[in-house]
């Protein structure tokens, strides 16, 4: 049995998912978002994200984490802030000794739906089928984190 964390990085909203893999069976233990107030400094946002992430790690004790790689942002300030949040997340994971797998958005879409240019709804419907959910996981950031955790669970030589 392995516990896998999935992270969709952001600054105001960070998607997270915790899944369990036992043999070929996977199940969702928890998912949601870490939120920070929109108008606070980036330093305070990073502090809040790090604390909430540490709480998740201390609760579930994951050994592996999948995290989304950054892609091009139209807004340079947003991209820099998300990069800083991603750095704080990576540092927290590294300090806790958690093995990290990084995926581009294209890899996530292709790995879940079979199509690298799939729409969010297609990925969410695929997750509904994979995890036998009654409804599509929401919000979008949490659904993305579930997909990322699932891809991390499929990596060879680790689980």
Specify the DSSP class assigned to residue 73.
-
pLDDT bucket at 73, cuts 50 / 70 / 90: low
Please indicate, yes or no, if residue 60 is contained in any of the structural domains: yes
Q: Is 159 inside any structural domain?
A: no
Would you say residue 158 lies in a domain?
Answer: no
pLDDT confidence of residue 70: 79
Q: How many domains does the chain have?
A: 1
Q: Is residue 43 part of a domain?
A: yes
The residues carrying an active-site annotation are 8, 68, 141
**CATH number for 141:** 3.30.420.10
Residue 159 in this model has a pLDDT that exceeds 60 = no
Which residues span the domain enclosing 46? 2-153
Span of 30-34, 79-83, 153-157 with lowest mean pLDDT: 153-157
Burial class (CB in 10 A: 0-12, 13-18, 19+), 108: buried
Q: Contact at 8 Å (CB) between 100 and 69?
A: no
Please tell me the least confidently modeled range out of 21-35, 63-77, 102-116.
63-77
Q: Are 6 and 19 in contact (CB under 8 A)?
A: yes
CA distances from 77 to 11, 42, 83, 95, 153 (A): 11, 11, 10, 27, 33
Given pLDDT bands bounded at 50, 70 and 90, which one contains residue 74? low
Residue 117's pLDDT band (boundaries 50, 70, 90)? confident
Q: Smallest Cα–Cα separation from 11: which of 77, 82, 89?
A: 82
Query: Tens of pLDDT along 3-16?
Result: 999 999 999 999 99
Mean pLDDT for the chain overall: 92
pTM, 2 dp: 0.93
Q: Is 29 inside a domain boundary?
A: yes
In a domain, 65, yes or no: yes
How far apart CA 152 and CA 159 sit, in angstroms, is: 10
Structure tokens at 11: 């600054």
The CA distance from 8 to 140, in Å, is 10
DSSP alpha helix (H) spans, the chain: 42-60, 76-95, 105-113, 120-130, 140-153
- CA atoms of 40 and 14, how far apart (whole Å): 15
Q: Is residue 141 part of a domain?
A: yes
Residue 92 has pLDDT above 90, yes or no: yes
* Cβ pair 10, 85 in contact under 8 A: yes
Cα separation, 100 vs 35, in Å, equals: 22
Establish if 99 belongs to a structural domain.
Answer: yes
Percentage above 90 pLDDT, the chain: 81
């Amino acid at each position: 049995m392995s516990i896998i964390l999935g992270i969709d990085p952001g600054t105001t909203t960070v998607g997270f998912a915790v899944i369990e893999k036992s043999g070929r069976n996977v199940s969702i233990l928890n998912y949601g978002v870490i939120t920070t107030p929109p108008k606070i400094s980036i330093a305070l946002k990073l502090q809040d994200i790090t604390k909430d992430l540490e709480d998740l790690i201390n609760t579930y004790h994951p050994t592996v984490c999948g995290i989304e790689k950054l892609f091009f942002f139209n807004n340079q300030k947003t991209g820099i802030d998300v990069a800083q949040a991603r750095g704080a997340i990576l540092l927290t994971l590294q300090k806790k000794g958690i093995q990290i797998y990084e995926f581009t958005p294209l890899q996530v879409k292709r790995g879940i739906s079979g199509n690298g240019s799939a729409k969010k709804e297609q990925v969410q419907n695929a997750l509904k089928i994979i995890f036998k959910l009654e409804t599509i996981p929401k919000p979008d950031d949490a659904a993305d984190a579930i997909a990322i955790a699932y891809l991390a669970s499929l990596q060879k030589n680790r689980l």
